[in-house]
A and B are shown apart, each in its own frame.
Chain A
Amino acid sequence: MANTMDSPRTAVSNPPVQPMETNLTQRDLIRRSATSELPQPERQLTPVAKLIDVSKCIGCKACQSACVEWNDTNPAVGENVGVYENPHDLTADMFTLMRFTEWVNPETDNLEWLIRKDGCMHCADPGCLKACPAPGAIVQYSNGIVDFIHDNCIGCGYCVKGCPFNIPRISKADHRAYKCTLCSDRVAVGQGPACAKACPTQAIVFGTKEDMKKHAEGRIADLKSRGYANAGLYDPPGVGGTHVMYVLHHNDKPQIYADLPVDPKISAVVQTWKGATKYAGLAVMSLAAAGTILHGLFAKANRVSKHEEEEAKELVDESVEHAEKREEDA
């Protein structure tokens, strides 16, 4: 047991306090919203991932607390509506949320309290980024982090519609979209995300995606040995895999974990909207415009002739005469 005692840990050293340059910059972008020609990044960062082991999670909300403190957000003090989720949903001030489900396992008749940390999944194929109309408001780094650049955000809410997991929220205060950044500012200086660092049971761990997958394998084997035959890793291929993954005891039924999508992917409607419609629409409009211009240039204009003006005058004169005559008659 000598060396295996150490669980993967998010933080291996305390955060630096000396001034540092960020190491996540423009040159590390592999996708940028509403930007077609992005220069090929000069380097490929090792893909990272946050692994959330739902079976180890005690629902303490340390992740929520750490997230608020690190990101300096201001979640409102709400009320109790009979549940443990507080706030009751993700908000522009609450990037992550523990969702609690009381589930009676039909096979064992035992109650299981399923607690899932909800938040941005950092999809390899991000629906938010696809939907975003503002250049550079959403970016994806080569390490897999999908980040919102608030200076560029126009607050349209398209990312909300684009996201297969219903994550981004638009702030009522500054009308910009907010979500988990995977603590890009921490990762940029070699620290793991605040939630992962805080997590008391290390149900949240952070590392390279490859390491996290390996770690998950061990966890899944442990769960299987404890009778969870369907334990598995949630890394949905429909969105190209995610940089936030779950270990689920019941990976065959992700939906029991507060409606975690079974097979998430960017909605076909969004694909059509941001795909065919965008391109075909622009093409059709351009064609129409070009067609009219060509027609205008080469076809003869529809002009009124002198003759027609005279005809009109005749008609008017006749009518006036007619009227005068009638008046006289009267």
Chain B
Amino acid sequence: MNMDLSRRSFLKLAGAGVAATSLGAMGFSEAEAAEVAHVRAFKLATTTETRQTCPYCSVACGIIIYSKGDVRKGDKAEVVHIEGDVDHPTNRGTLCPKGAALKDFVKSPTRLLYPMHRKPGSDKFERMSWDEALDRIARLMKDDRDANLLLKNEKGLDVNRWTTTGMLAASATSNETAWATFKFAKSIGIVGFDNQARV
């Protein structure tokens, strides 16, 4: 990708700060420096960058997630900012109103945190442990499959078709997750299996 170097050099002249003289050298004491401090401190300093892809539409803009903490080093990492990736050929750093606000999708107050369970007829969700939820789901599914899997059609042909449980897959999951999901759904015989491409 072409980097417009003349533009970069102008930015330096126009106030870019790589080689900026420190305030101390300007003759301000610490206290004075605080008083005359002008522009906000650059908030991405000392954050961790991660190359990512916007999860919304299929333009698949390159984004950079800036986080406090680095998951690769085993830290607990928290997103502090998200911005377009200038190196990306499609979006070249730009983002739409959704992509530009991705941080608040990741940090939405309505993110789900725990497995929840609603009993038949109940008017509320109640917390459930993962183990309890997964065991119960597996049991419900197996019981339904055992009861309703159509092994053979009238002609005696193996059809291995399970129509009484269906699944919708998410067209926002990764290819790898999708492949795992595909293996799961098709191997247990689910035929009512679609993703958003259907609608």
Contacts and interface: CB of A to CB of B under 8 A. Distances in A.
Chain A directly contacts chain B within the complex, with at least one CB pair under 8 Å:
yes
A199 B99 CA distance: 11
Nearest to A204: B94
Interface string B100-124: 1101100000000000000000000
**Interface bin, chain A:** 35 or more
Interface string A53-69: 00000001110111011
A188 B16 contact: yes
A202 B86 CA distance: 13
Given A9-B7, A69-B103, A190-B18, A61 B97 contact: yes
A17 interface: yes
A149 interface: yes
A46 B14 contact: yes
Secondary structure of the B contact surface, majority rule: loop
Interface stretch (B39-47, B143-151, B177-185): B39-47
Nearest to A28: B15
- Considering residues A8, A10, A147, which has the most beta carbons from chain B within 10 angstroms of its beta carbon? A10
A242 interface: no
Interface string A168-192: 0000000000000100111111111
A149 B38 contact: yes
A259 interface: no
Contacts of A62: 94-97, 99-100
Given A6-B4, A184-B38, A197-B84, A22 B17 contact: yes
B138 interface: no
A22 B100 contact: no
Interface in A211-257: 211
Interface in A51-94: 60-62, 64-66, 68-70
A13 B5 CA distance: 10
Interface string B1-37: 0111001101111111111111100101000000111
A199 B84 CA distance: 10
Contacts of B190: none
Contacts of B96: 60, 62, 65, 198, 200
B42 A188 contact: yes
A115 interface: no
Contacts of B21: 21
A200 B99 CA distance: 10
Contacts of A18: 45-46
B42 A14 contact: no
A28 B14 CA distance: 11
B131 to A, nearest CB: 38
Given A188-B15, A200-B91, A69 B104 contact: yes
Given A11-B86, A17-B49, A22 B39 contact: yes
Nearest to B16: A190
Contacts of B26: 25-27
A23 B41 CA distance: 11
Give 8 nearest A-B pairs by CB, closest first: A23-B17, A190-B16, A23-B20, A65-B100, A21-B20, A185-B40, A65-B97, A66-B100
Interface of A: 3, 6, 8-28, 45-48, 60-62, 64-66, 68-70, 136, 139, 141, 143, 145, 147, 149, 151, 181, 184-192, 194, 197-202, 207-208, 211
